[in-house]
């Protein structure tokens, strides 16, 4: 009986070690000009660990490493990236730190809504503060570039200056992928919004920039 108990404890220990060592999903892809490696944080616990604080449900954080291979400086821009989910057709461009943890005003067409957090669509644009109630704007048309619809509406963000910057906003600004020209590897985070739960195998990061077009799947 004692031998069986010891064996059982050893087996459980190995299983826990395997799960612990599994880590977040990683995707890699590239061409002759650029190599991209991205680590995905999909749940709130993983996101909190990656950014150093709690963000709203639906935020996906990608830690990316871009390695130029041509030996020449390459322009790095966050707008070159798009996160797509094959589960339901959602797609998202990267969000800025101030959209996630700062005060902002969203303008879609002739409509204006004030918000203290990040917005996403669920039959219509929905905006809410971090940990606060959500408010819905009128209308149920195309998405704000981050909805289940594949149609993207034009949206602009007017940022308000606050007297004191929150620690979370400061952390996001420090960790976000820096936009610059570089011939050396560049690392940083990208922040996306996808409604609902998505598995890594359903996601694909698309790059379309100076290095051409690269699709990065996750395992």
Task: Please check whether residue 162 lies inside any domain of the structure.
Answer: yes
3-state secondary structure of 30: strand
Q: Where are the beta strands (DSSP E) in 87-211?
A: 91-92, 104-108, 111-115, 117-121, 125-129, 134-136, 155-159, 180-182, 186-193, 203-209
Task: Please check whether residue 123 lies inside any domain of the structure.
Answer: yes
Task: Please check whether residue 14 lies inside any domain of the structure.
Answer: no
Query: What is the pLDDT, as a whole number, of residue 121?
Result: 42
User: How many Cβ atoms are within 10 Å of 143's Cβ, its own excluded?
Assistant: 22
Task: Please check whether residue 3 lies inside any domain of the structure.
Answer: no
- The single-letter DSSP state of residue 95 is B
Task: Please check whether residue 110 lies inside any domain of the structure.
Answer: yes
Q: How many domains does the chain have?
A: 1
114 vs 74, more confident? 74
Task: Please check whether residue 9 lies inside any domain of the structure.
Answer: no
Where in the sequence is the domain holding 28, given as residue range(s)? Answer: 24-217
Task: Please check whether residue 2 lies inside any domain of the structure.
Answer: no
Residue 26 exposure: Cα atoms within 13 Å on the Cβ side: 6
Percent of the chain with pLDDT over 70: 62
Which tens digit of pLDDT belongs to each residue from 149-162? 443 333 444 555 55
Which tens digit of pLDDT belongs to each residue from 22-73? 789 999 999 999 999 999 999 999 999 999 998 888 999 999 999 999 889 9
CA distance 82 to 159: 22
């Amino acid at each position: 009986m004692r031998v069986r108990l010891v064996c059982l404890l050893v087996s459980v220990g190995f299983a826990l070690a395997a799960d612990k060592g599994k880590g977040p999903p990683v995707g890699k892809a590239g061409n002759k000009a650029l190599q991209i490696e991205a680590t995905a944080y999909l749940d709130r616990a993983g996101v909190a660990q990656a950014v150093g604080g709690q963000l709203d449900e639906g935020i996906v954080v990608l830690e990316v490493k871009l390695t130029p291979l041509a030996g020449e400086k390459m322009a790095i821009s966050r707008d070159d990236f798009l996160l797509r989910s094959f589960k339901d057709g959602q797609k998202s461009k990267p969000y800025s730190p101030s959209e996630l943890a700062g005060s902002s005003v969203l303008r879609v067409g002739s409509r204006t809504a004030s918000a203290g957090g990040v917005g996403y669509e669920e039959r219509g644009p929905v905006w809410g503060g971090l940990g606060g109630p959500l408010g819905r704007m009128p209308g149920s048309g195309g998405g704000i570039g981050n909805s289940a619809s594949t149609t993207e509406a034009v949206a602009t963000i007017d940022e308000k200056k606050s007297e004191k910057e929150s620690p979370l906003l400061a952390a996001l600004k420090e960790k976000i992928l820096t936009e610059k020209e570089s011939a050396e590897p560049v690392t940083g985070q990208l922040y996306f919004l996808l409604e609902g739960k998505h598995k890594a195998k359903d996601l694909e990061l698309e790059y379309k920039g100076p290095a051409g077009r690269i699709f990065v799947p996750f395992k």
